[in-house]
Chain A
């Protein structure tokens, strides 16, 4: 069998195995909306950890992180910092979010806004913004999958058929098994990803330089300024680092799928223990970065940094190993894609369609609509991915800046009694407007500071000011509360 045949066969087997696990995961449960979206709130520490690690470590951390190391150098270190500090932030908000979620039967991030601020329009706005930013993120996963198969097949298989097959599989197991599928496929994905990161992160520097230390020594000699900020970029310096790490660690769990995963936990303390352990998963990121750094000297002329990791692996290891890496990479695209589809579908059916257009829908009809939306959203995104625009990474960064604008509404909603619907709504709208103007106007970073961070500051200022000036409003979380 040819090298590409071996690699593709192994990728295919891994993807099929993952899909079988996905279909099987939900087969013992009756899939109503509660089971489909939050698994009956029954996940303990291990499954929550797997689910959250599963949705965090996407093709962007696998291909994108090494690509950033390759093309930008030092600034890529922000990924290690924010993927650790995001869990510190989560320690102080997720248990509280879980608590109000369990008390009021919340299933989505929009439910949180609906209950706290008592406005279905604010909740619908959150849903629209959430879905709008999820779609490019999903598109990125599907395109990543296309890249993997393309490189592994030595360009024998085009991106388009690979993307179609993978999307059909993902949509299928989300449709059938909901969030349980995502958690259980993560088991396979995490094991493979960990093995892959260890092998390539240690193996590649060893093959070309005789170890990690000699590799960095060679790099520091060849390009003395690359390994510190701003590296190979003109403007990603320390102010950018601080503002970006603050923005992304705050925005991290504001992604509607991350927020929603909170509700699958069995208790608030499960989430606290999870936050204690999650940073350890971040230790895989430096290994991936090593490969990107090695590629700078080994393959100096790649046009697309995102191809760095796979291309190095392809020319260093035997074909079957490229297959294992490709399979792990494919699952790191499919698992997050699954939860993104699930979240977008639920937001659309439950928080946008029913409250605004069809108040008479029953829970059963919402659940059915959500599952139909899985197919619609998958199809639309696949279409976008096939059209493939070059501004994909730009769209993702825009997404992070965008969802981070939910942060003030969530934190003030939990901890500040004077937070009002109008203030939060106005702050969020101002923040998103600033993000769109600055990022699409190519003014990010502005004066060396992350544009999303500036928007977040404005957002907090507006929400705080309106809250102080406006008369107090009832807090929706108090309704129907037994006196503690």
Chain B
């Protein structure tokens, strides 16, 4: 199986760094943003940003791979 490209994996690691590994940096109530506690604001922000990073990964993957059709539709 062809492995995903390095660039795509890097783009996928960014949301993990932001929403998971860095939890002790953003898990606090203040400063509140738009009335939301900071931790909740941060996670909502990254829920919206993650599609952007995945879109970058998508461009990298699709650009690498010429559009191919499967041999058949899987039915016998």
Contacts and interface: CB of A to CB of B under 8 A. Distances in A.
Interface in B19-46: 19-21, 23-24, 27-29, 32, 34-37, 39-40, 43-44, 46
Nearest to A83: B47
Interface in A152-196: none
A84 B39 contact: no
Given A279-B47, A283-B48, A286-B44, A92 B12 contact: yes
Interface string B55-76: 1011001100001001111111
B61 A280 contact: no
A41 B55 CA distance: 24
Given A77-B40, A272-B62, A415-B1, A84 B47 contact: yes
B71 A228 contact: no
Contacts of B4: 92
A273 interface: yes
B6 interface: no
A85 B35 contact: no
Interface string A190-234: 000000000000000000000111101100100010011100000
Contact of A275 (B23, B43, B46, B54): B54
A216 B32 contact: yes
Please indicate which of the listed interface residues B12, B19, B62 has the most CB atoms of chain A within 10 Å of its own CB: B19
Contacts of B55: 276
A414 B39 contact: no
A212 B34 CA distance: 9
A269 B57 CA distance: 12
Nearest to A214: B35
Contacts of B47: 80, 84, 279-280, 282-283
A96 B1 contact: yes
Interface range on chain B: under 10, 10 to 19, 20 to 34, or 35 or more?
35 or more
Contacts of B71: 103, 482
Contacts of A84: 15, 19, 43, 46-47, 50
A379 interface: no
A279 B51 contact: yes
B58 A273 contact: yes
B12 A286 contact: no
Contacts, number: 143
A478 to B, nearest CB: 10
A245 B29 contact: no
Contacts of A213: 32, 34-36
A103 B9 CA distance: 25
Nearest to B14: A88
A277 B29 contact: no
A87 interface: yes
A269 B62 contact: yes
A442 B1 CA distance: 40
B74 A85 contact: no
Nearest to A363: B76
Contact of B19 (A81, A238, A280): A81
Contacts of B46: 84
Interface in A228-279: 228-229, 238, 241-242, 245-246, 263, 267, 269, 272-273, 275-277, 279
Interface in A267-320: 267, 269, 272-273, 275-277, 279-280, 282-283, 286, 289
A216 B37 contact: yes
Contact of A74 (B27, B53, B57, B62): B27
Contact of B35 (A34, A211, A273): A211
30 contacts: A34-B74, A40-B73, A77-B40, A84-B46, A84-B47, A85-B19, A85-B20, A87-B54, A88-B16, A88-B53, A91-B8, A91-B54, A91-B57, A100-B1, A103-B71, A103-B74, A105-B75, A212-B36, A214-B35, A216-B29, A220-B29, A238-B24, A238-B27, A241-B20, A245-B20, A267-B70, A279-B47, A279-B50, A283-B44, A286-B43
**Which 7 residue pairs of A and B lie closest in terms of their CB atoms, listed nearest first?**
A213-B35, A276-B54, A102-B70, A80-B43, A81-B19, A102-B74, A279-B50
Interface of B: 1-4, 8-9, 12, 15-16, 19-21, 23-24, 27-29, 32, 34-37, 39-40, 43-44, 46-48, 50-51, 53-55, 57-58, 61-62, 67, 70-76
Interface of A: 34, 38, 40-41, 74, 77, 80-81, 84-85, 87-88, 91-92, 95-96, 99-103, 105, 211-214, 216-217, 220, 224, 227-229, 238, 241-242, 245-246, 263, 267, 269, 272-273, 275-277, 279-280, 282-283, 286, 289, 414-415, 477, 482
